[in-house]
Structure 1
Amino acid sequence: MTSELLHPDRLFPAEPAVRQITREIYQSIQALPIISPHGHTEARWFAENKPFETPSALFITPDHYVFRMLYSQGIPMETLGVPDKFGDAERNSRKIWHLFAKHYPGLFRGTPTQLWIDHALYEVFGVSKTLNAASADQIYDAISDQLNKPTFLPRALFERFGIEVLATTESAIDSLQHHKHLNQSDWKQRIITTFRPDSVTNPEHPDFLQDIHKLSELTGQDTHNWHQYLEALSIRRRFFAESGATATDHGFPTPFTTVLSQAQCQRFLTQSLEGTLSAEEAELFRGHMLVEMARMSLQDGLVMQLHAGSLRNHNSLIFDRFGLDKGCDIPLPVNFVEGLMPLLNEVGNNPEFTLIVFTLDESTYSRELAPLAGHYPAMKLGPPWWFHDNPEGMLRYRQQTTETAGFYNTVGFNDDTRAFLSIPARHDVARRMDSRFLATLVCEHRITLEAAMETAHDLTYRLPKEAYKF
């Protein structure tokens, strides 16, 4: 089948000699298993193994990369099937698909979203035509016809995609019932959880009070008491680890850390529960909690991830109506050098501890993050994230971090996605861009082709497995 969508040399350099080396490197890693150590797909999909409902529910409604861009053109989110807090949203899947298809050719042109969607349409569903208003119905029907087939059920697609391990992300109070079901099932593919405690460690989280109460119920600890509050978090971490988790994840606005006295901690905890904590005090509380989480990681061995540099829920109108995680996160300038200093001085020299840092503030790559990761044994650099997990962002990342941190203080790639079908596409883009970067080094006679092949394999497979203790 000839495709209008995917050229075999997409994203490769235009210069013939570099393109040829890129092709050789890429072909050596193209078929390696996918390691997906951080993301936001739902364990429920694989536990229930039911057909995905509609093309719109699969491609549009859960993907904030998609509806965020459409909203920027004045298209209401509810018309895309995104439910508000009252559950109101467009229900006609074909109508949603038509609206998306109408805007897809121009609005997403040149974006990574186009790469991911075109890849999924062609590689997963065999669609060879460009999605637009004229082809919308034909493509919708082609996808719909396949969704109920056994080969398109979530578990079958998981195996078809060549995923070796997939990590989801759940809050500290989640029951993990779907992970429990998977662990007890006859299906032996590896899907694990990740411990995300933000709603009980960030006093400014909208669910803080209700989730702290739930944390107390789940653990039998008095979460008004500082020592019992920490014990409650430790209990939940053990519960997640016993369910398969190898990592925690913390999404705070800044990487600020500090060490407070126990008296200060108790006072801030009490004020948090009373609703009298100031913004400055909330930052101090969060900063100390990152240190506490690092201390616990030294005890239980869970890898610690920190996502910083994102001002979340920037659009208060969207947040008030649709809630969390609706594409309104905006990159924020942050200071890793001073922010992480208390944490790194306490635990950063211990090679038994692993801190993987992500940022939306690209200006810190060469100035702060690469020098820090190039020194502290515990610190590793996460791959480009959110707005930067695109071809240009991946190149900038390698160009700005390799000279100081090298390749082996990074952890390969992770897709960090809610859109299941985009996982193979995202990993394919990362493999192509790493191959391109390495090929340039080969052609400049800075490394050998053999070294480039070895590095490409490590970035794709070995480093993420080692960093996340798989």
Structure 2
Amino acid sequence: MTRTLQLDPDRLFPAEPRTRDIARALYAPVRDLPIISPHGHTDPAWFAYDEPFPDPAALLIVPDHYVFRMLYSQGVPLEALGVPTVDGSPTETDPRRIWRLFAEHYHLFRGTPSRLWLDWVFAEVFGLGVRLEPATADHYYETIDAALRTDAFRPRALFERFGIELLATTESPTDSLDHHRAIRASGWGGRVVTAYRPDPVMDPDFPGFAQHLETFAALAGEDVLTFAGYLRGHENRRAWFREMGATSTDHGHPSAFTADLPRADAEALYAKVLRGDFTAAEAELFRGQMLTEMARMSLDDGMVMQLHPGVHRNHNEAVLARFGRDKGADIPAATEYVRALKPLLDRFGNDPRLTLILFTIDEDVYARELAPLAGHYPAVRLGPPWWFHDTPEGMRRFRERATETAGFYNTVGFNDDTRAFLSIPARHDVARRMDCAFLARLVAEGRLEEDEAHEVARALAYDLVKAAYRL
């Protein structure tokens, strides 16, 4: 017997009746506000060429590390889920078999944010009214597959249906941005912009760093064998990214470490990096120096800086060797900000022309480090809960720990930071519900007037992100 899939209209709201009523009233005006997605990893080719998504498994399972990391943790081989291998050795290619395997293990997602997002997609996007389980796997597959063959489910149509006002992708300085040029040339009215992610040419430990530098030099039109030429290369590429709509840079460094070296020392360090005879400490020093250089460039061109540190990426060596990067084996690590950021903040932290948005997946630092920094330095803002903490509980903890010191207006609204296109409205809905639930509690406790709570709810859903990302 199949079971009904029904989304609770009061999901994530407080159980206490009076507070729940306040949350409902706060949520109603923000529910359908346009979505600003200022940082993410969706594929710009989807919107450039508007081709149909191939099948349910290729859309919802094979590229989604949130999905396959959970199944892998329970012994499901990545090969069986169709995840491609580095060497091209065979993996499962039958999308229906992949989907059935996913359905057999869907119970693993109970209580997780992935279950919230996926159930929203199934119910709201595809109109499915029964739960996903082995008995309904084929019904799900056929319903979704049939929908994907229609024009209403092409990328641009879904973009418009979801009420997305702006979507930012993320590209390396070595990317030609041809897909973004194609979007502009197409005449389509959807606003898709890029963001500058220079890690491949700023991190000496990045795989293929030397080869990336060669491509970078060719695209930038600069001799990057000198530090001056290397910096000019970044300035040139940043200018091209801005022409393609970019208003932000993004940095996924192992730590938040920054440095502000004398120019001669920075040049000598760069020479060592080019020769490849640097130590781990020198690689960290170079990354830190370049964060400060990026801040300096942001004062010149107005680009907002985002820093996403503190992840031990590709922790599972066997998975990395067989399947490559970004396969669900990234693990949070303890991260320090106060001492790490001081060189950059000593130089630029008091300048309101700079916006440095800080993210963390080390929740212990919200109250101790990040909120006090954002609550003092004009240049610093707090990014929303990210990655492992992009969850109802993570959002609640963030507001509880950060608001008392940083307030609401030193935060930047919500940022879905996802590769899973169809989950974007689901994620924004979760964030709006959780913010309204938090505000409702403040109102119920006499700590905030209800009219003020309405203003804050709108700011968190829409206004702050537009201001922070200069959109």
TM over 0.5: yes
Q: Counterpart in 2 of 1:101?
A: 103
Q: Counterpart in 2 of 1:77?
A: 78
Q: Counterpart in 1 of 2:94?
A: 92
Q: Counterpart in 2 of 1:454?
A: 455
Q: Counterpart in 1 of 2:120?
A: 119
Q: Counterpart in 1 of 2:56?
A: 55
Q: Secondary structure at the match of 1:344?
A: helix
Q: Counterpart in 2 of 1:21?
A: 22
Could you tell me which amino acid in structure 1 is paired with residue 315 of structure 2? Answer: H
Q: Counterpart in 2 of 1:294?
A: 295
Could you tell me which amino acid in structure 2 is paired with residue 420 of structure 1? Answer: F
C-alpha distance in 1 between matches for 2:427 and 2:4: 19
Structure 2 contact 40–418 (Cα < 8 Å) conserved: yes
Q: Deviations over 1:204-262 (max 9, x none)?
A: 11131110011111123221211101111111000100111000000001100011122
Q: Secondary structure at the match of 1:138?
A: helix
C-alpha distance in 1 between matches for 2:349 and 2:184: 34
* Shift in Å, 1:162: 0.2
Q: Deviations over 1:108-163 (max 9, x none)?
A: 00000000000000000001111111100011000011101111110000000000
Q: Deviations over 1:369-414 (max 9, x none)?
A: 0000000001000000000000000000000000000000000001
C-alpha distance in 2 between matches for 1:65 and 1:86: 23
Structure 1 contact 5–119 (Cα < 8 Å) conserved: no
C-alpha distance in 1 between matches for 2:410 and 2:322: 41
C-alpha distance in 1 between matches for 2:152 and 2:4: 22
* Shift in Å, 1:290: 0.3
Q: Secondary structure at the match of 1:170?
A: coil
Q: Counterpart in 2 of 1:422?
A: 423
* Shift in Å, 1:173: 0.9
* Shift in Å, 1:421: 0.5
Q: Secondary structure at the match of 2:250?
A: strand
C-alpha distance in 1 between matches for 2:97 and 2:45: 27
* Shift in Å, 1:3: 5.3
Q: Secondary structure at the match of 2:338?
A: helix
Q: Counterpart in 2 of 1:464?
A: 465
Quick one: percent identity of the two aligned structures? 58
Could you tell me which amino acid in structure 2 is paired with residue 269 of structure 1? Answer: Y
Q: For structure 1, which segment, 234-243 or 81-90, has the greater mean C-alpha deviation from structure 2 after superposition?
A: 81-90
C-alpha distance in 2 between matches for 1:154 and 1:3: 28
Structure 2 contact 5–123 (Cα < 8 Å) conserved: no
Q: Counterpart in 2 of 1:46?
A: 47
Structure 2 contact 30–457 (Cα < 8 Å) conserved: yes
Structure-to-structure mapping, 1:106-185, within 5 angstroms: 107-185=108-186
Q: Counterpart in 1 of 2:208?
A: 207
Q: Counterpart in 1 of 2:68?
A: 67
Q: Counterpart in 2 of 1:235?
A: 236
Q: Counterpart in 1 of 2:405?
A: 404
Structure 1 contact 38–167 (Cα < 8 Å) conserved: yes
Q: Deviations over 1:4-57 (max 9, x none)?
A: 231111111111111111111111110100010000001100111011001001
C-alpha distance in 2 between matches for 1:172 and 1:41: 17
Structure-to-structure mapping, 1:311-326, within 5 angstroms: 311-326=312-327
Q: Sort the Cα spacing of 1:292 and 1:445 in 2 relative to 1 into closer, same or farther, 3 A.
A: same
Q: For structure 1, which segment, 85-94 or 367-376, has the greater mean C-alpha deviation from structure 2 after superposition?
A: 85-94
Structure 1 contact 223–232 (Cα < 8 Å) conserved: yes
Matched, 1:217 2:218: yes
Structure 2 contact 372–406 (Cα < 8 Å) conserved: yes
* Shift in Å, 1:78: 2.0
C-alpha distance in 2 between matches for 1:335 and 1:155: 41
C-alpha distance in 1 between matches for 2:323 and 2:273: 25
Could you tell me which amino acid in structure 2 is paired with residue 364 of structure 1? Answer: V
Could you tell me which amino acid in structure 1 is paired with residue 390 of structure 2? Answer: D
Q: For structure 1, which segment, 114-123 or 80-89, has the greater mean C-alpha deviation from structure 2 after superposition?
A: 80-89
Structure-to-structure mapping, 1:259-408, within 5 angstroms: 259-408=260-409
Instruction: Tell me the matched-pair count.
Output: 468
C-alpha distance in 1 between matches for 2:168 and 2:87: 30
Could you tell me which amino acid in structure 1 is paired with residue 236 of structure 2? Answer: I
C-alpha distance in 2 between matches for 1:381 and 1:279: 29
Could you tell me which amino acid in structure 2 is paired with residue 384 of structure 1? Answer: P
Could you tell me which amino acid in structure 2 is paired with residue 306 of structure 1? Answer: L
Q: Secondary structure at the match of 2:75?
A: coil
Could you tell me which amino acid in structure 1 is paired with residue 61 of structure 2? Answer: I
Q: Secondary structure at the match of 1:359?
A: coil
Could you tell me which amino acid in structure 2 is paired with residue 63 of structure 1? Answer: D
* Shift in Å, 1:87: 3.0
Could you tell me which amino acid in structure 2 is paired with residue 249 of structure 1? Answer: D
C-alpha distance in 2 between matches for 1:239 and 1:150: 33
TM-score by length of 1: 0.98
C-alpha distance in 1 between matches for 2:6 and 2:84: 31
C-alpha distance in 1 between matches for 2:403 and 2:358: 15
C-alpha distance in 2 between matches for 1:258 and 1:249: 18
* Shift in Å, 1:274: 2.4
Structure 2 contact 176–219 (Cα < 8 Å) conserved: no
Q: Secondary structure at the match of 2:358?
A: strand
C-alpha distance in 1 between matches for 2:312 and 2:118: 27
RMSD: 1.0
Matched, 1:431 2:429: no
Q: For structure 1, which segment, 304-313 or 215-224, has the greater mean C-alpha deviation from structure 2 after superposition?
A: 215-224
C-alpha distance in 2 between matches for 1:384 and 1:281: 31
C-alpha distance in 1 between matches for 2:269 and 2:343: 19
Q: Secondary structure at the match of 1:164?
A: strand
* Shift in Å, 1:66: 0.5
Q: Deviations over 1:178-216 (max 9, x none)?
A: 100111221111000000000000001113111001111
C-alpha distance in 2 between matches for 1:64 and 1:48: 25
Q: Secondary structure at the match of 2:52?
A: coil
Structure 1 contact 3–122 (Cα < 8 Å) conserved: no
* Shift in Å, 1:275: 2.1
* Shift in Å, 1:60: 0.5
Could you tell me which amino acid in structure 1 is paired with residue 200 of structure 2? Answer: S
